[in-house]
Amino acid sequence: MDAPFIYLNTTGIKEGQLEAWMKYFAEFAEFIEANEPRLLHFGTYVNEEGTEQTIVQVHPDPESMAFHMGLLADHASAAADFLDFSTTRSQVYGEPDPSVLEQIRGFAPHIPVTVGTPGGGFARFLAG
C-alpha cells in the first residue's frame, strides 16, 4: 500500500496569543506553500477553547518531511512568541526511515514522538 507520511504536532497557545498565532501561521503557511510543492496538506487546527493547536502535515513520502525539516529552522523560533511548548507532543504516521525520525526527534528532544506504521486502507489523493 502506498501510504502518505502524516505528521501531527500539538502545542499549547499562550494566553491572549490566539489571534497573533493565527496571523503568524497564515504568513508561515504561505512561505511553506511557495517553497514545498510536494507537500499535500499543511494546516493548523485550534481546539474549541482556543488554548491548543495542532499542525497537520500530509506528505507524499518521508523525503518530503525531511525537506520540510530543513526549511523549518529559521521560522520555528518565532513561533515561541505565541506557543507554549511545555505540553507539545508529536505523532508520525507512515514509514519513516531512521534519518527522518532522527530529524524530528532532534528538532526538539524534549517533545514525545509517537510513531504509527500503516496497517491497511487506501489513500485516494495519492492515486495517479
- Domain ranges in the chain are 5-119
pTM of the model: 0.90
pLDDT band at 126 (very low <50, low <70, confident <90, very high): low
Tell me: the pLDDT tens digits for 34-53? 999 999 999 999 999 999 99
Tell me: the pLDDT tens digits for 100-123? 898 888 877 888 999 999 888 888
CATH code for the domain defined by 5-119 = 3.30.70.100
DSSP character string of 38-104: T--EEEEEE-TTSSEEEEEEEESSHHHHHHHHHHHHHHHHHHTTTEEEEEEEEEEES---HHHHHHH
